[in-house]
Amino acid sequence: MLRFENVEKTYKGDIVALQDVSVNVNKGEFIFLVGPSGSGKSTFLKLLLHEEQPTSGRIIVAGRDITRLSHWKLPQLRRNVGTIFQDFKLLPTRTVYENVAFAMEVIGRPKHVIQAQVPQVLELVGLEDKNERFPAELSGGEQQRVSIARAFVNRPLILLADEPTGNLDPANTVGVMRILDRINRAGTTVCMATHNGRIVDAMRRRVVELDHGRVVRDEASGLYGEGGEQ
Amino acid sequence: MWARFKYFSRETVISLRRNLLMTIAGVITVAVSLALFGGILLLSRWVDHGTERIKGGVRLEVFMNVDATDGQISDIRASLESDQDVKSFRFFDKQDALSEFKRIFRKDPDLVKNITADALPTSFRVIPTTAEKTNSIQNRFQVQPGVDDVATPEEALRGLLDATNTARIIFIGLSLILLLSSLFLIVNTIRLATFARRREIEVMKLVGASNWFIRIPFMLEGLVQGLIGAGLAVGVVAVLKVGFDRWFSSPTGFFREFYLTTGDAVSVALYVFALGVIIGLIGSTIGLRRFLRV
């Protein structure tokens, strides 16, 4: 589903972000991307979204080499890859329902499909009774669930999560992780960058650790710290 | 399809309203510059009609007597052909004279109704080799048998032509500057609109909205400004057309040969309209340029 082949990324000024990174993620896998700040996690995700291009190497997403993707094919990639962020990126002037519906509206889905899908997804994230609320009236955990609903409503093959629990308290973190787990069990590949060791340890999923732009660890059901010592 | 149309028009209206002052400024500048542009085009057409003859180089008209014989006419033709000072000439028969009469007095149907081709004189329109020869040709042909009169265009008309040429250049320059500033205003309005909606745009890109889907509401916003401005300017053109007709309609006045047809007004209006659309679209394209790259 996702494959990095000897990917190298150097930013202007010879700042090396990724060095010879090769990772293969199968359909339906759940992987944690861990590592200290500046280890290359964000670059990894940006490359997947085609926000940055690798200096060398190949990146395959859903069977397609996105390294040389022409910019008019980019929207197609983005429809296959849902994204959630630490800061949610919700539209403050729109209600919960409208925020989710917006993601379908702007890729031209017909109204009856939107009206059928949005309530379903809101139910999946447990916000079916907060349809008409605005983001500012919700807790951080609820806002993140709205953003998950928005990322998932178009049924992407892959869900990227960049520190999705970074702004949340432990209770909300658990809620968000449950939803991501549920989405993953329904068949969506999930790739989550995080600093939260407790989640990683509790979930026991595949862990890819980056350090100074290199993959230093890739374990099938790993812990946050090596050998569980941290 | 209908859902998309509704989406685009809703987004466009919201955006236009959000930037109401900028929108109004853009529309007014477009309207003023296009009205100036349209006005100058109309004036040009009007002067062109009035000075067709001078512009063709015609300096003299040799009018024959109404009852001049064919022999007299061909004598004149022969001496024009052999005259060293005549560059070229053209013969106007009675039928030509009638259609010209009808044109000049088109506001006076009674007069036109009562005239027949027979009552009008034939004439020669003569272009001399140089302007200085005008008077000597006039003197030579004035006295020929069958010639009623040799007319030269009024000097005032030439002065007017020069003046309008100067005015035309100045006004076209002015309207170009105004057109440019209206373009910049639209560019700025679109930039503000994209800035006001940068969160929406970010989300749209994130969920894979196509570039056109993102851009169309902004393109429409620019287009609407261009269209409204052009619409106002077309109104001004229409008023000017009616005004020209009314102010200069005297069949005997200095401007009797100056006129505007409805066709002139329509074609000027079309130019103005097209220019408004082009300005709107170019303005929004430039305003959106930074979003061409996702």
- CA A122 to chain centroid, in Å, comes to 18
Judge: B4–A89 Cβ closer than 8 Å, yes or no: no
* CA atoms of B27 and B10, how far apart (whole Å): 20
Q: Which two tokens stand for residue A85?
A: 């962020």
Cα–Cα nearest to B291, from B195, B170, B208:
B195
A79: nearest CA partner in chain B: B208
If one compares B287 and B251, the residue with the highest pLDDT of the two is: B287
Helix (H) or strand (E) holding B126: strand B123-128
* ipTM of the complex in this document: 0.87
B205 neighbourhood in chain A, CB within 8 Å? 78
Q: What is the pLDDT of residue B126?
A: 85
Q: B25 vs chain A: nearest CA distance in angstroms?
A: 27
For the stretch A16-73, pLDDT in tens is 899 999 999 999 999 999 998 888 898 999 999 998 889 999 999 988 899 888 888 8
- Range with the largest mean pLDDT of A187-191, A199-203, B120-124: A187-191
Judge: A106–B206 Cβ closer than 8 Å, yes or no: no
Q: Is the pLDDT of residue B185 over 70?
A: yes
Q: Which residue among B199, B209, B293 sits closest to A106, beta carbon to beta carbon?
A: B209
Q: What is the pLDDT of residue A85?
A: 92
In whole numbers, what is the pLDDT of chain A averaged over residues?
91
Q: Which residue among A72, A102, A108 sits closest to B203, beta carbon to beta carbon?
A: A102
A134/B contact by beta carbon, under 8 A: no
- CA A107 to chain centroid, in Å, comes to 19
Helix (H) or strand (E) holding A31: strand A30-34
Q: What is the pLDDT of residue B157?
A: 67
For the stretch B222-253, pLDDT in tens is 999 999 999 999 999 889 888 887 877 666 66
Q: Are A84 and A160 in contact (CB under 8 A)?
A: yes
For residue B172, name the pLDDT band (cuts at 50, 70, 90).
confident
Helix (H) or strand (E) holding A45: helix A41-48
Q: What percent of chain A has pLDDT over 90?
A: 70
For the stretch A121-171, pLDDT in tens is 999 999 999 999 999 999 999 999 999 999 999 999 999 999 999 889 999
Q: What percent of chain A has pLDDT over 70?
A: 98
B290/A contact by beta carbon, under 8 A: no
- Alpha helices per DSSP H over chain B: 2-18, 20-50, 52-55, 70-82, 94-104, 109-113, 134-142, 155-196, 198-207, 211-247, 262-287
Judge: B4–A111 Cβ closer than 8 Å, yes or no: no
Q: What is the pLDDT of residue A228?
A: 45
Q: Is the pLDDT of residue A112 over 80?
A: yes
B211 neighbourhood in chain A, CB within 8 Å? 71-72, 75
> What are the C-alpha distances in Å from A52 to residues A6, A182, B34?
16, 30, 44
Q: What percent of chain B has pLDDT over 70?
A: 89
B197: nearest CA partner in chain A: A91
In whole numbers, what is the pLDDT of chain B averaged over residues?
83
* CA atoms of B117 and B129, how far apart (whole Å): 31
Q: Which two tokens stand for residue B26?
A: 């853009």
Judge: B211–A151 Cβ closer than 8 Å, yes or no: no
Q: What is the pLDDT of residue B58?
A: 62
Q: A103 vs chain B: nearest CA distance in angstroms?
A: 6
Q: Which residue among B202, B203, B209 sits closest to A75, beta carbon to beta carbon?
A: B209
DSSP state of A227: G
pTM over 0.80: no
Q: Is the pLDDT of residue B3 over 80?
A: no
B203 neighbourhood in chain A, CB within 8 Å? 89, 91, 102-103, 106, 150
* CA atoms of A143 and A100, how far apart (whole Å): 11
For residue B273, name the pLDDT band (cuts at 50, 70, 90).
very high
Q: What is the pLDDT of residue B294?
A: 44
Q: Which A residues, 15 through 74, put their C-beta within 8 Å of a C-beta on chain B?
A: 71-72, 74
Q: Which B residues, 166 through 205, put their C-beta within 8 Å of a C-beta on chain A?
A: 199-200, 202-205
Torsion of CA B185, B187, B193, B197, to 10 degrees: -160
Q: Which residue among B204, B293, B294 sits closest to A106, beta carbon to beta carbon?
A: B204
Instruction: For residue A92, report the phi and psi dihedrals to the nearest 5 degrees.
Output: -70, -20
Q: Which residue has the tokens 């002065």?
A: B159
Judge: A107–B209 Cβ closer than 8 Å, yes or no: yes
Instruction: For residue A63, report the phi and psi dihedrals to the nearest 5 degrees.
Output: 80, 5
* Interface probe, candidates B17, B18, B206, chain A, greatest A C-beta count within 10 A: B206
Q: Is the pLDDT of residue B213 over 80?
A: yes
Q: Are B230 and B269 in contact (CB under 8 A)?
A: no
B208: nearest CA partner in chain A: A75
Q: A156 vs chain B: nearest CA distance in angstroms?
A: 10
B7: Cβ contacts below 8 Å, ≥ 6 apart: A105
A230: Cβ contacts below 8 Å, ≥ 6 apart: A197, A224
Q: Is the pLDDT of residue A225 over 90?
A: no
Q: Which A residues, 146 through 165, put their C-beta within 8 Å of a C-beta on chain B?
A: 150-151, 154
A110: nearest CA partner in chain B: B3
DSSP state of B118: G
* Interface probe, candidates B17, B201, B207, chain A, greatest A C-beta count within 10 A: B207
A61 neighbourhood in chain B, CB within 8 Å? none
B33: Cβ contacts below 8 Å, ≥ 6 apart: B175, B178, B179, B181, B182
Q: What percent of chain B has pLDDT over 90?
A: 14
For residue B256, name the pLDDT band (cuts at 50, 70, 90).
low
For residue B113, name the pLDDT band (cuts at 50, 70, 90).
confident
Q: A229 vs chain B: nearest CA distance in angstroms?
A: 38
Q: What is the pLDDT of residue A31?
A: 95
Q: What is the average pLDDT across A69-91?
A: 90
Q: What is the pLDDT of residue A63?
A: 85
Judge: B294–A83 Cβ closer than 8 Å, yes or no: no
For the stretch B28-61, pLDDT in tens is 989 999 998 888 888 888 877 777 656 656 668 8
Q: Are A30 and A164 in contact (CB under 8 A)?
A: no
Q: What is the pLDDT of residue B265?
A: 86
